[in-house]
């Protein structure tokens, strides 16, 4: 199955993707900040590198990739709306 290009989606589908990715990013950001805080506190208390911190770094990478996709979607929506 061929990968769909952004131009193959309707404007409504793009806006729905944008809203979904934005919500997902905010949820992951909150979880990442809270989780990283606990992991850093654990590191501070036990002087041992917590493996959970690596998980939160990986989640940060996913957030970065989602933001890249969001920028592309916003650009496509703007070009269709003539903004």
What is the model's pLDDT at position 6? 77
The token pair at 58 is 């990986």
The token pair at 20 is 């979904």
Query: What is the pTM (predicted TM-score) of this model?
Result: 0.71
**CA nearest neighbour of 66 among 22, 31, 30, 27:** 22
What is the model's pLDDT at position 3? 62
Within 13 A of 19's CA, how many CA atoms are on the CB side? 6
Query: Using 50, 70 and 90 to split pLDDT, how confident is the model at 1?
Result: very low
Q: Average of pLDDT values for 69-81?
A: 89
Checking if the pLDDT of 23 tops 90, the result is: yes
Checking if the pLDDT of 79 tops 70, the result is: yes
């Amino acid at each position: 199955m061929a990968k769909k290009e952004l131009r193959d989606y309707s404007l409504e589908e793009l806006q729905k993707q944008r809203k979904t990715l934005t919500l997902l990013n905010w949820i992951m950001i909150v979880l990442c900040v809270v989780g990283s805080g606990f992991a850093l506190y654990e590191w501070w208390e036990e002087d041992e590198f917590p493996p959970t911190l690596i998980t939160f770094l990986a989640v940060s990478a996913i957030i970065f990739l989602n933001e890249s996709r969001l920028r592309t979607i916003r650009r496509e929506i703007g070009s269709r709306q003539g903004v």
